Structure 1
Amino acid sequence: MSELKKARKMSYSRVESSVLMLPDQANALGNVHGGELMKLMDNVAVMAAMKHSGGAAVTARVDELVFHEPVSIGSIVTCIAQVAYAGRTSMQVKVTVYVHDLKKYTEPRIALSSFFSIVHLGDDNRPKEVPGLIAVTEEEKVLYKAGEERYPKK
């Protein structure tokens, strides 16, 4: 079996990216546009899927975005993505966005969360098989179950 076909631990796919929110990313009230946050989420989701699959990946679907906290100019936003479930050619990637608004609170809070359906593509731009996924910790097993429940059934 080739290296890319071997199952990988869930933690292998984890990607974390932080960005300072600037005025050009916000509306007149100083709140960051949802589209700006979704773009950040999409980027980290695809990166996590690429790490797991070992190649190109594209977004096929985004579950509803759930906004938990507003994000303001000057806040530090951290997006964390991890493959939650791997099917035959696609993956469910959980993305959580944390906001650290230093003017309002000292600890980061969850601002948004969603699952992204990402498809692995081969050199011919056709769906390509992905490695299996191994959930090790109890938290990963819960995440795996959540991803599996969202995975499209045929």
Structure 2
Amino acid sequence: MQKKKPAESQVTMTELVLPNDTNVFGNLMGGRLMYWMDIAAALAAGKHCNAPVVTASVDNISFESPIKLGNVVHIEARVTRAFTTSMEIHLSVWGEDLTHQYRYKSNEAYYTFVALDPNRKPRPVPVLEPETEQEKKLYDGALRRRQLRLILGGKMKAADATELKALFSEA
């Protein structure tokens, strides 16, 4: 299976915040943003593996700044690491006020997707080959984040999380 680079899975999705997308404060609803983020992440994962994908987990969504009615939302998604059948996707969300002409960081998150074969069973995905320093940093951290997700999901014992243990042991 051919190796792929993170840039090959890059997706930028743009949405306009309309009245139906907002809460009583005129801010984009978190659930609507998560819905858009799930779509962007699925597109990035699908580009990486050229197969149908399903969401396996969503974690570490941080809401930094609200996005207001009438502003534009830019969601940047790309694969940070590929495991056997799953892929971690990093998402950065930016708001843009077109009237005042400025962009601001709104959110960040990690989603995990699993590639499916024609029988809807997990299938192998291409290896990811990071190039830039930022891509390498996200790639290295992905194994620790994966171990934490597996522990919290009851699929791994903390004692078996060697990458996480290395963070807390003395050198």
State the TM-score, normalizing by the size of structure 2. 0.83
Check whether the contact 1:93–1:147 (CA below 8 A) recurs between aligned residues.
no
1:77-123 CA distance string (max 9 Å, x none): 000000001000001000111001235x5331110110001100110
The share of aligned pairs that are identical, in percent, is 34
What's the CA shift for 1:48?
0.4
What's the CA shift for 1:29?
1.5
SS in 1 for 2:144: helix
Superposed CA RMSD in Å reads 1.3
1:24-54 CA distance string (max 9 Å, x none): 0001221111000000100000100000011
- The one-letter code of the counterpart of 1:68 is E
Please give the alpha-carbon distance, in whole angstroms, between the structure 1 residues aligned to 2:71 and 2:142: 29
State the TM-score, normalizing by the size of structure 1. 0.92
Number of positions where the alignment pairs a residue of Structure 1 with one of Structure 2: 149
Check whether the contact 1:30–1:73 (CA below 8 A) recurs between aligned residues.
yes
Picking from 104, 114, 130, the partner of 1:135 is 130
Please give the alpha-carbon distance, in whole angstroms, between the structure 2 residues aligned to 1:51 and 1:95: 15
Please give the alpha-carbon distance, in whole angstroms, between the structure 2 residues aligned to 1:147 and 1:41: 19
* Structure 2, unaligned runs of 5 or more: 151-155, 157-171
Alignment match, 1:121? 116
Check whether the contact 1:10–1:134 (CA below 8 A) recurs between aligned residues.
yes
* Structure 1, unaligned runs of 5 or more: none
Q: Which has the higher contact order (CA 8 A, sep 6+)?
A: 1
